A = this chain, B = another copy of it.
Amino acid sequence: MLMPNNTAFEHAQATHDRMNGAQSLACLFMTSAMETIAAGKAICWEGDAAKHLFQVVEGVVRLHRIIGEGRRVITAFHFPGDLIGASLQSAFLFTAEAVSDCKIRRVSRKSFHDEIARSDALRPVYINLLCEETAAANNQMVLLSKLNAEERLCSFIVKLASRSDAKMQHGLLRVPMNRQDIADYLGLTIETVSRTITKLASRNIVVPEGRHDLRIVNLSRLVQLSGNGDDFSDKTCHSVSLH
């Protein structure tokens, strides 16, 4: 059976599921105090004991690892509702930093797992979350393995735009992270990200408005270019509507 790899659609689906998952697991964080993290500040550090899990309440968080000299890899961005550290065993495998000003809650790993063990309802939700995290990591592996700069960028923008909470008034997409963050997430340099956006703008597909907003002019083109490839272009792109 032929399966159009409609990344945008796939992702919308995954996002939806994750939201549900987070909704259910969210109750574990309800009693915790809200913490405010200023943009750029760290929430936890790679290598430290993972004594807590965090829930993003507001803002965007990046997870990254530093390898040798100055090489930084961003392995994920987390948005309101998402959990940080669900798939950890003992130590943090990443540093988490606020991309924008954030509000978060935390619970101890022990009490989190106790609650999961106690509740037959929560357990499948948690397992679901872990599976989705693996699936997301696998998708990113594909992106980093085989997509070129333009495909990576388009795929990234489509994914952002597919988020249900994306601010999409009149085709204007908020991009909270800066160019360097995007570059480190997509395995490119800041210059290549910049040039690729410029190229997309010249073809009137997306047009930057300020540093943190993108006007999505031609979404179907964007989906086509996002490397979910196949020749289904016209059929699939209509299934993603942002209005």
Q: Which of A47, A137, A140, A141 has the most CB of B within 10 A?
A: A141
- Given that A130-B87, A131-B87 are known contacts, is A68 also in contact with B187, CB under 8 Å in the complex? no
Is A145 in contact with B144, judged by CB distance below 8 angstroms? yes
Q: Is A5 an interface residue (CB 8 A)?
A: yes
Q: Which residue of the partner chain B has the closest CB to A63?
A: B138
B146 touches A75 (CB 8 A): no
Q: Is A88 an interface residue (CB 8 A)?
A: yes
For chain A, give the interface size range: 35 or more
Q: Which of A25-82 contact B (CB under 8 A)?
A: 46-48, 65, 67-69, 71, 73, 75
Identify whether the interface residues of A are mostly helix, strand, loop, or mixed. mixed
Known: A87-B134, A130-B134, A146-B187. 6 other contacts (CB 8 A): A1-B48, A67-B142, A73-B146, A87-B130, A117-B120, A145-B187
21 intermolecular pairs with C-beta atoms under 8 Å apart: A1-B48, A67-B227, A67-B229, A68-B227, A71-B146, A73-B141, A73-B145, A75-B141, A88-B131, A89-B131, A93-B135, A94-B138, A117-B123, A127-B127, A133-B134, A134-B134, A137-B137, A137-B138, A137-B140, A145-B184, A145-B187
